[in-house]
Each structure stands twice: as structure tokens, then as C-alpha cells.
Amino acid sequence: MAVTASSVIIPAMVFFMVFQLQYEAIHSYTPVHYIVGDEDGWDLPITGVSWTNGKKFYAGDVLEFKYDRGTDVSVVDEEAFDDCAVNDKSIEYSDGDTNLTLAFGANYFICSRPLICSAGLKMFINATAPPPSV
């Protein structure tokens, strides 16, 4: 049986079209923009635990932290989160309106002021992979 150009090209074209459609479906997730604490912002008496209840977070989603100049938000590791204290791996923000994109996996946020953090102004989010679009 002779191999013709059409017997090779057409199946290859079909394969690449199907591949492209699947790629676009998987990579077409539009990140969600959340305002942490909703209208109360990043402040007590809300806590990160209560605000995150019922929400599903994905890598790439954006958290907007709105807060007074008397406080801040720090991106920390698990140890700093547990201790309510920043360390050399922490990144602190104090501009009053901070947008942070969630990374895949564990994301830890605290107020760097130990008493405020200990009162509950800290938040852990496990961001999962974005869902495939259909």
C-alpha cells in the first residue's frame, strides 16, 4: 500500500486541531478577583478563617487586601504563620491596598503586628489548579 500525502497530512491536522482545542479549554480559566474581608477589608473583627469559608481558590486568583495604614499584610511561610511573626522569608506590604496573586499550593498571610495576628488577623489558603473550562 502506497503512502500518500493526504493519508499522512489529514490525520496529523485532525490530531493538532483536537490538541489545540483541549489546550485552550484547559488554559482558558479567568482568575477571580477577591476583596479580602469584603466591605470590612483586611481588619479585625473578621478573621481569615471566617472569610474563606465556602470559597474555592485557584492558583492565579487575585486577593486584594484593603487596610488602614496602621496595619499591613505579610506573605509568610508556615512557620511564620504559626508563630505570628515575620522572618527573613516574609514579604511585607503596608500601602493600604495590596493585590497578591495566589500561587499553587499553600499561601500564608498575616498582619506582622504579633498582637493583631494573634487576635486572628491571619489567613491560610490552599490554592488548587484552575478547573478545565468546557
In this structure, what DSSP letter does residue 61 have?
Answer: -
Count the neighbouring beta carbons within 10 Å of the beta carbon of residue 33: 10
| Cα gap 90→20, rounded to integer Å | 40
CA angle 15, 59, 91 (to 5 degrees): 140
| Cα gap 110→86, rounded to integer Å | 8
The whole-model pTM stands at 0.77
Residuewise pLDDT in 10s, the chain (134 residues): 565 655 656 655 554 554 454 445 445 789 999 999 999 999 987 766 789 999 999 999 999 999 998 899 999 999 999 999 999 999 999 999 999 999 999 999 999 999 999 999 999 999 999 987 66
Cα–Cα distances (Å) from 22 to 15, 82, 113, in that order, read 11, 41, 47
